[in-house]
Chain A
Amino acid sequence: MGAKIIAFINFKGGVGKTANVVNLGACLAKYHRKKVLIVDLDPQCNATFWLLKRGQLSQRLDDPSITAYQIFHDRIFGTKEFDFREAVIRGVPLSNSGFSFISLLDLLPSAIDMLDVEDQLHENLKEPYFTCLNAGLRECVDGYDYVLLDCPPNIYGISKNALYFADYYVIPYLPDFLSLSGFRLFTKLVRRFQYQVSGFYKSSLNPRIAAVIINRYRNIGNVYDHSINELKLEMKNLKTQKLIHEKAEILTPYIRDCVRVAECSNFHLPVCLYREGSIGAQDYFELSGHFIKHIEENL
């Protein structure tokens, strides 16, 4: 079985995309022995900064050719410099002396230069602009069980590359009305994109939004519960309109608002390593089980 490529995407910012990718990826590798690759596609490099310490980062910051940026650069300028084995960082996070904490978790880091990619993507290309990532990375990921794509908070060129490359999309979500309306718009944008690419990829019209992860859930009154009820009703509407996968689910448990999750990025660790007993770590552990079941059995 090939790698399952999952894009974590939402064009609303601050909804927990990077937190989900890093913490879920860590749980899949640590507790379920899945070989996981995190691909940071965000020019803000949040996943990269989260999992690498300053000393480990410095070389990458100086040399974008050993980051995901090079995949796009090669396609745009016709070079062949991207070397996956050199770019990927094995067994992140690493201790100060370079020992791996989770041997099955790898990272393909991002670079600030990814910002230029957005401007350059539509120039000099002999192939459709949204196929760069697929063409540059598809063969490299065969040995993985899961490839988790941490997308930027927009739906421009890089995100469209992720949408084209991924098998399924997972939507990190905050339970409020603006997220709901954003989600509704996002499904329509994805459908529009899928129509655009349908000439290149026959099965591209299948709805691929397969799951929603609720972040920063708080059990106060029933404010959040009503928003989640609205999401459930909306997902039923969207399934009827075939805008999301017919078996799309809200994954459980919801990730509760947890100070340890917010804190762990300061220590360049996923929460399951930072505070294994915290509610955040418990939620991600249980979520990882549901995630595997949903992706491997339901879809």
Chain B
Amino acid sequence: MSLLELSGRMAETAALLREYADRLDDARFVMEAERFTKAFGKFHQVLTGYKDGLTPQANELRALLQSAFPRDNEGEAELAKFSKKALGKRTTKSKNDTYVSYLEKFFKSVVGAGKVDYALLLLKRPPAQSVLDFTREDELSLLEQIRTLGALKEDQLEVEVSRLVKDKKMLCKLAGAARIKYKPTSKPETVVKKLVEIGRRYYENTGGLFS
């Protein structure tokens, strides 16, 4: 019997014990059974994760992660963003973490969460292209682009937001069409955020369902 099979059986037994613990009607027994079940569950999960970490997919992910992000502050920030995309939350970085240890931490979290295939998919996907069309700059065309912005899913929206933050001239025109005050001191990120909010409203009221 392999170690994994053994741990699996033990975790099952622990769960069974938890099920029957109520019969004794003693809080102490219930608490211990709870602890016992949790410990074996965790043990089994770690063992499974370790095994998954050795699969060809996990190896590919580790290699890709090492090459996809530059080993500097910017790369680290990108990795943190990517961890949010892949896991739904940023991997916590402690003060003592180096780039390599942070990458390893993230890798283990992905394996532990069973999201190796999803992370691979995200990494291999070609970078999204901008879908906003600024060839025409009359008021109605700009309003249509704001509405398009409001209709975008998160990944695409991120691309457009970073494009607009860099293109202040266009951002100023869009803000004008949406009647957002754009002062020289305004942070582009704040203006884009407002634009997205207004775009969502325009899409809700005059696009999507009704178009």
Q: Smallest Cβ distance from A295 to chain B, in angstroms?
A: 22
The reply to whether A233 and B201 contact each other, CB–CB distance below 8 Å, is no
Main secondary structure of the interface of A (DSSP, over half): helix
The reply to whether B205 and A237 contact each other, CB–CB distance below 8 Å, is no
Stretch from B14-22, B92-100, B139-147 that touches the partner: B139-147
Interface of chain B residues 118 through 137 with chain A (CB within 8 A): none
Q: Does A197 contact B (CB under 8 A)?
A: no
Q: Smallest Cβ distance from A191 to chain B, in angstroms?
A: 15
Stretch from A61-69, A117-125, A165-173, A224-232 that touches the partner: A224-232
Are A232 and B205 CB-contacts (below 8 A) given A225-B179, A226-B198?
no
Q: Does A59 contact B (CB under 8 A)?
A: no
Q: Does A32 contact B (CB under 8 A)?
A: no
Q: Write the B32-48 contact mask toward A (1 if CB under 8 angstroms, else 0).
A: 00000000000000000
Neighbouring B residues of A232 by C-beta, 8 Å: 139-140, 143
| Bound Cα distance from A10 to B73, whole angstroms | 60
Q: Smallest Cβ distance from B27 to chain A, in angstroms?
A: 56
| Bound Cα distance from A38 to B179, whole angstroms | 37
Q: Does A184 contact B (CB under 8 A)?
A: yes
| Bound Cα distance from A225 to B178, whole angstroms | 8
Neighbouring B residues of A222 by C-beta, 8 Å: 178-180
Number of chain B residues close to chain A: CB under 8 A: 17
Q: Does A77 contact B (CB under 8 A)?
A: no
Main secondary structure of the interface of B (DSSP, over half): helix
Neighbouring A residues of B157 by C-beta, 8 Å: none
The reply to whether B202 and A230 contact each other, CB–CB distance below 8 Å, is yes
Number of chain A interface residues as a range: 10 to 19
Q: Write the A70-106 contact mask toward B (1 if CB under 8 angstroms, else 0).
A: 0000000000000000000000000000000000000
Neighbouring B residues of A236 by C-beta, 8 Å: 140, 144
Pick from B177, B207, B210: contact of A229, CB under 8 Å: B177
Q: Does A234 contact B (CB under 8 A)?
A: yes
Residues in chain A within 8 A of chain B (CB atoms): 177, 180, 184, 222, 225-226, 229-230, 232-234, 236-237
**A230-B201, A233-B140 known, 12 other contacts, Cβ within 8 Å:** A180-B206, A184-B210, A222-B179, A225-B179, A229-B143, A229-B177, A230-B206, A232-B140, A233-B143, A233-B144, A233-B147, A236-B144
Residues in chain B within 8 A of chain A (CB atoms): 139-140, 143-144, 147, 177-180, 198, 201-202, 205-207, 210-211
Can you list 28 contacts pairing A with B, beta carbon distance less than 8 Å? A180-B205, A180-B206, A184-B210, A222-B178, A222-B180, A225-B179, A226-B178, A226-B179, A226-B198, A229-B143, A229-B177, A229-B178, A229-B179, A229-B202, A230-B201, A230-B202, A230-B205, A230-B206, A232-B139, A232-B140, A232-B143, A233-B144, A233-B206, A234-B205, A234-B206, A234-B210, A236-B140, A237-B211
